[in-house]
Amino acid sequence: MARPLVMPQMGYDMKEGTILRWLKHEGDRVERGEPIAEIETDKVNLEIESFASGVILKLLAKEGETVPVGQPIALIGEPGEKVEEEAVPAPAVVGAATAAGTVTAPGPRAPEAAPLEEGPTAPGERVRASPLVRRLAAEHGIDLSKIRGSGPGGRIVKEDILPLIAAPRAPLAPEQPAPAAAPPPPPVPPAAPPAAAAPAVAVAPVPGLPEFEVIELSRIRQTIARRMAESFQQAPHFFVTTVAEVDALLALREQINAQVPEEERVSVTDLLIKACALALRDFPTLNASFVPPNQLRIYKRIDINIAVATEHGLIAPYVPDADHKPLAEIARLTKDLIARAREERLRPEEYQGGTFTISNLGMFGLVEHFTAIINPPQAAILAVGSILREPVYREGSEEPVPVRRLRLTLSVDHRVADGAVAARFLETVRTLLEQPMLLLVR
């Protein structure tokens, strides 16, 4: 008897998913655990696996279609098995669900699948490709920006690059006439915003407004917009800032990195994770969530999220039990999590959770300090600015000395903690950073 394969829930807040590409087609044999489709959730793109072995009898959702969690998307059965019409829930259910999907709201639609064609991606246009395609491209030295995808929305699918892999170093359109005297591409500043989530669409002028274009938000950007608006509107934020002198911290980091292999080299973010995790032991109300109307949920584990900027927006994987992990393990974990976040290869359980978040913009070099919005349902988030070399007057001296300093701003949900708690927490973090040997012995 035909069994339905449903859209899986790949996270507690996932309500729907978009079929990016079917990896199997009607009539194909599929084994239990074999990838059957690639879907897009609010956070990442994922391959979903078949729950059973059998033959794909019918696909109930099309590529590019948004489907609610729990809705059948395919039927799996025995070879030659006929699908009874009444057993197919697709037409009415899928249609209704699609109409209710947020991604299919009126607006610019993804272009229809284009024929395979090689050609350079337009300047500034975002390359859309699955993690599998990106991995294959990296392995075979293929420049995805020179390929025009044939998938939904111009997405580059595996079939688009397979001929390039099979062909011995097939050139990627080098013979195409390039525009004469084309200016070299400008350098991208480190703090450049992510590429647009979808092609811009020209719209009719609106009286009173200058000419504009409309860009459809990516699903992850829609999620960020919704969650951050809810957080800032519902959680009464307050902010506390301190400054830590980090010469000793950077010296220790240099000594550690000179003695360990590449994968264990410690970043400033790793040191901050360890410092915050240790400090949270003493301030459990900051490692908590407010539960309306009048409860506080204090977590027994300290799992530190790190905000990672990706092509599609922010995502925050976490380091579990960070207060119990040595720096080398934290360093290995963060390198792996950050790399896979940017390649859209995180598993849901790696970002669905966490009890406290660190957002570090220090690497951009220009951000002295900033405030961050709490990552719901957490109670606090630490915003980290750049390390700046500044003159400091020591007690009893009239001459300033140059010191490298780091500004830390803590955003706190006022429903769960007050300013005094935030101040003492920051004082503890600052002490750990200014006396960094404590990070090695605790």
Spatial separation of the C-alpha atoms in residues 90 and 194, rounded to whole Å: 37
Evaluate whether 5 touches 51 at the Cβ level (below 8 Å). yes
Spatial separation of the C-alpha atoms in residues 224 and 372, rounded to whole Å: 13
Query: Is the model more confident about 239 or about 138?
Result: 239
Judged by average pLDDT, the poorest of 10-14, 88-92, 113-117, 160-164 is: 113-117
Tokens 């009719």 identify what position? 204
pLDDT value of position 201: 65
Q: Give yes or no for residue 398 having a pLDDT over 50.
A: yes
* pLDDT tier at 95, thresholds 50, 70, 90: very low
Spatial separation of the C-alpha atoms in residues 37 and 46, rounded to whole Å: 8
Spatial separation of the C-alpha atoms in residues 237 and 5, rounded to whole Å: 43
pLDDT value of position 111: 32
Q: Where are the domains of the chain?
A: 3-77, 220-393+400-439
Mean pLDDT score of the chain: 80
pLDDT value of position 211: 85
Pick the most confident of 115-119, 150-154, 165-169.
150-154
pLDDT value of position 373: 97
Which amino acid is present at 245? Answer: E
Angle, CA of 339, 344 and 350, to the nearest 5°: 75
Spatial separation of the C-alpha atoms in residues 123 and 295, rounded to whole Å: 51
pLDDT value of position 186: 39
Helix (H) or strand (E) holding 392: strand 380-393
Spatial separation of the C-alpha atoms in residues 112 and 153, rounded to whole Å: 7
pLDDT value of position 252: 96
The whole-number average pLDDT for the span 162-170 is: 57
* pLDDT tier at 13, thresholds 50, 70, 90: low
Tens digits of residue pLDDT in 340-390: 998 878 888 898 899 999 999 998 888 999 999 999 999 999 999 999 999
Please state which of the four CATH numbers 3.30.465.10, 3.30.559.10, 3.40.1190.20, 3.30.1180.10 is assigned to the domain occupying 220-393+400-439.
3.30.559.10
Query: Is the model more confident about 35 or about 387?
Result: 387
Chain centroid to CA 69: how far?
Answer: 21
- Beta strands across the sheet bearing 66-68: 45-49, 35-40, 16-22, 66-68
* pLDDT tier at 155, thresholds 50, 70, 90: low
Query: 346: how many CB neighbours lie within 10 A of its CB?
Result: 24
The whole-number average pLDDT for the span 173-201 is: 42
Choice among 237, 312, 324, 414 that is catalytic? 414
Please state which of the four CATH numbers 3.30.390.30, 3.40.50.300, 1.10.10.10, 2.40.50.100 is assigned to the domain occupying 3-77.
2.40.50.100
Name which of 224, 223, 215, 222 is nearest 197 in CA terms: 215
Tokens 């059948």 identify what position? 72
Let me know if 414 is a catalytic residue: yes
Q: Give yes or no for residue 85 having a pLDDT over 70.
A: no
Those residues whose C-beta lies under 8 Å from the C-beta of residue 165, and which sit 6 or more positions away, are 136, 140, 142
pLDDT value of position 9: 79
Q: Give yes or no for residue 192 having a pLDDT over 80.
A: no
Residues in a beta bridge with 97: none
Query: Is the model more confident about 325 or about 195?
Result: 325
Name which of 245, 295, 249 is nearest 270 in CA terms: 249
Evaluate whether 345 touches 360 at the Cβ level (below 8 Å). no
Those residues whose C-beta lies under 8 Å from the C-beta of residue 254, and which sit 6 or more positions away, are none
Q: Give yes or no for residue 426 having a pLDDT over 90.
A: yes
Angle, CA of 116, 122 and 125, to the nearest 5°: 100
Query: Is the model more confident about 163 or about 174?
Result: 163
Query: Is the model more confident about 428 or about 182?
Result: 428
CA quadruple 314, 318, 319, 322: dihedral, nearest 10: 110
Q: What is the pTM of this model?
A: 0.64
Those residues whose C-beta lies under 8 Å from the C-beta of residue 329, and which sit 6 or more positions away, are none
Tens digits of residue pLDDT in 255-264: 999 999 988 8
The whole-number average pLDDT for the span 321-346 is: 93
Query: Tokens at residue 278, please?
Result: 């240790």
Judged by average pLDDT, the poorest of 39-53, 112-126, 239-253 is: 112-126
The whole-number average pLDDT for the span 310-323 is: 91
Please give the C-alpha separations between residue 434 and each of 35, 233, 384, 399, 439, in angstroms, as whole numbers.
49, 35, 15, 21, 10
Evaluate whether 412 touches 422 at the Cβ level (below 8 Å). yes
Query: Tokens at residue 54, please?
Result: 């059998």
Name which of 61, 65, 60 is nearest 40 in CA terms: 65
